[in-house]
Amino acid sequence: MRLVTFHVPGGTRAGRVEGEEIVELAGADVGSLLEAGASLEALATAPGRGRHLLADVRLAPPILRPPAIVCVGRNYAAHAAEVRAEVGGFPTLFAKYASSLLGPRDDLVLQGASDAVDWEVELAFVVTRPGRHLDEEAAGTCIGLYTVANDVSMRDWQRRTSQFLQGKTFEASTPLGPFLVTADELPAAPEDGLRLTCRVDDELVQDGSTKEMVFPPAEVAAYISTFMTLEPGMVVLTGTPDGVGAARTPPVFLRPGQMLHSAVEGIGELVNRCVVTEGR
């Protein structure tokens, strides 16, 4: 099953993708349905409130207001090496806020406050069942959906202090989508390897596999569940492979007019045009 959130006059709606159409569901976004207790089985068979051609709609982030956005840093050994960081014995975690999310086809505004906007393609998962104090096997059953994210990072702000949240959660800086995909739709389990790529215009800048993750999704979910409840609609970004711009010599960052393409095998692709504005 593939789920989306899309724009309609006056707001947004959740939808189930069937072929080239979207079946409109009774919710403002997929996240609100999950938080209200809807199961994936129920969403797969829920009657529609109308149909829309997928090609005719503007997609929104599939989860608009997650109860939490948790991100894993340095989760690929090659990426940790390129930024001269060590891989620890536990996941390195940081948070984002809902205001950071951006639609899968929306313009990425290069904030005037930062001169070092970098790319980081990532697999993300969405929690669909609640849980707390879980082992890895149980935590895996709480992961019901997968999607694509780009953890666009303002490196100059990230490096201002040892705590780099401020460089990771600029408003409208984290593309998410285009679809939320159930595991049965994927060509392989994440721990067995899904290809993830990032292109800037026509240049392939990242090309990795999720099997290279140090901490796979179920282990990350179990770890998170020890200090906070996994809640339906929670989004977890699982880290990026090597190839980021900041690690190049000299460093390379996004520029106005460039197209940022972020893809995960079996899920889809984010396509975001970089545009410029004054600082805000």
Tens digits of residue pLDDT in 172-188? 999 999 999 999 999 99
Tokens for 129, please give them. Answer: 């069942």
Q: What band does 279 get if pLDDT is binned at 50, 70 and 90? A: very low
- β-bridge pairing 92-96 and 69-73: antiparallel
Residue-wise pLDDT for 197-244, tens only, equals: 999 999 999 999 999 999 999 999 999 999 999 999 999 999 999 999
d(CA 14, CA 1): 13
How buried is 119 (Cβ within 10 angstroms: 0-12 exposed, 13-18 middle, 19+ buried)? Answer: buried
d(CA 174, CA 127): 18
Q: What is the mean pLDDT of residues 246-262?
A: 97
Q: Is the pLDDT of residue 85 over 90?
A: no
Q: What band does 112 get if pLDDT is binned at 50, 70 and 90? A: confident
d(CA 158, CA 251): 15
Q: Which of 203, 188, 145 is nearest to 4 (CA)?
A: 145
Least reliable range by pLDDT among 34-38, 164-168, 192-196, 217-221: 164-168
Pick the CATH number of 63-276 from 3.40.50.1010, 3.90.850.10, 3.40.50.1820, 3.40.1280.10: 3.90.850.10
Judge contact between 171 and 99, C-beta under 8 A: yes
Tokens for 140, please give them. Answer: 């895996």
Q: Domain extents for the chain?
A: 1-60, 63-276
Residue-wise pLDDT for 34-51, tens only, equals: 999 999 999 999 998 999
Q: How many CB atoms lie within 10 A of CB 80?
A: 19
What pLDDT, on a 0 to 100 scale, did the predictor assign at position 278?
A: 52
Q: Which CATH superfamily is domain 1-60 in?
A: FAH (2.30.30.370)
